[in-house]
Amino acid sequence: MLKKVLVWTGIAFAGLFAGAGLQSMLEGHAPLFKNEVAAEENFAGLTKSEWYYRGSVIASDPSIVKTKDGYVMFYTDLDTGKGRTVIAKASSSDGQNWKTSGSFDGVNGVVMAGRSGQWDENVESAAVVRQDDRWLLYFSGYRDEGNPTRGFPAALWLATSNDGGAFDRLSGDPIMTPTKGWYDNDAIYSPTVLLDDGIFHMVYVGHSYTDFSAIGAGGVYLLSATSTDGVNWTKGEKPIAGPGQFDDWRKDGIAEPYLVKREAGEYLLFYTGLNGEEREIGVATGSSPEGPWKFGSGPIVKPGPSGAPDEHQVLAPAALVEDGRLRLWYLAANKREALSIGQADGSLNEALSSSGH
């Protein structure tokens, strides 16, 4: 079970440094590249862009912020010299053509890197929120050596910025840590944070494998938390979703959530469905950012045809709703383990209807 659910859940990057995965990403590498394979023109009302973004080595786990100048994307990249994940930033006027500024250890656009000898030697899975002129960057961190594998345990950190470029950790300690024997006993990953009417709402992924004595069964769980200041969080008592809840393309659980407010009283929760090594993207609807959530029956984004950048898996969505139109960014994985960020857009209502809402 552990090996099966760790395929691109934010933990398995260590495997990229061996074998063909890393080599395929570095050969002929350009940050922005075109899909040369004919993509599925329309699925669930969404059309995939032919352009993909892959950062300096990889690009994964996007978080999107809309600004007056366009879009800002925070994502996970790789520092191949240290063998660690880092968080980078790119900007775009159209949400498709991305540009970075500056570099750190050969990785372009880095805004947060790990600290040797600390619990957050590796950093990834960014979630970014703007509160007036203040930028809040939430991210997961873990050591080079882990138990039962690299990536465990993982906790949640917070860094802040006044300009969206230079971020400083709020503290040397995490703001949220795993709870022994609980749904997040081994790791906290993939936070998504929404500031709504003065309250911070978080949905995140909890991993529980080595000790689930307080809950009865381990696995991957979708969890929630709330905060009045974005720093001190209260975890929700019950999971939003967990393994065994579905018997379809999500039978191993749900991961990589992304919370969006459509309008007053209408919220959307985009997510990855886990089924063995298969990954597809779905959406749930709710009347509040804390749910309850109604999950559709089908996905809204599926892997592309053979040879496409997303031929193997689509996961870790980020989304915006603009004038009734859904804009979706996601992690695309091909069969050579090259990771890039794809983009799809189309009618939100059609996407909801096609997925069973």
Contact predicate 276/4, CB 8 Å? yes
Quote the pLDDT of residue 38: 72
**CA 214 from centroid of its chain's CA atoms:** 27
Q: Tens digits of per-residue pLDDT, 285-325?
A: 999 998 899 999 999 999 999 999 999 999 999 999 999 99
Does the pTM of the predicted model rise above 0.85? yes
Phi-psi region of 248 (alpha: psi -120 to 50; beta: other; left: phi over 0): beta
Quote the pLDDT of residue 29: 60
Quote the pLDDT of residue 7: 42
Regions of the chain where pLDDT drops below 50: 1-24, 26-28
For 275, the token pair is 């089924």
Question: What are the φ/ψ torsions at residue 134 (nearest 5 degrees)?
Answer: -100, 130
Q: What single-letter DSSP state applies at residue 256? A: E
d(CA 318, CA 61): 8
* List of domains in the chain: 2-354 (2.115.10.20)
d(CA 223, CA 190): 10
Please state whether the peptide bond connecting residue 148 to the residue before it is cis, i.e. omega within 30 degrees of 0: yes
Coil vs helix vs strand at 307 = coil
Q: Tens digits of per-residue pLDDT, 147-191?
A: 778 889 999 999 999 999 899 999 999 999 999 999 999 999 999
What are the residue ranges of helices labelled H in 16-110?
20-26
271-282 burial, b if ≥16 CB within 10 A, otherwise e? Answer: bbbbbeebbbbb
What are the residue ranges of helices labelled H in 183-340?
none
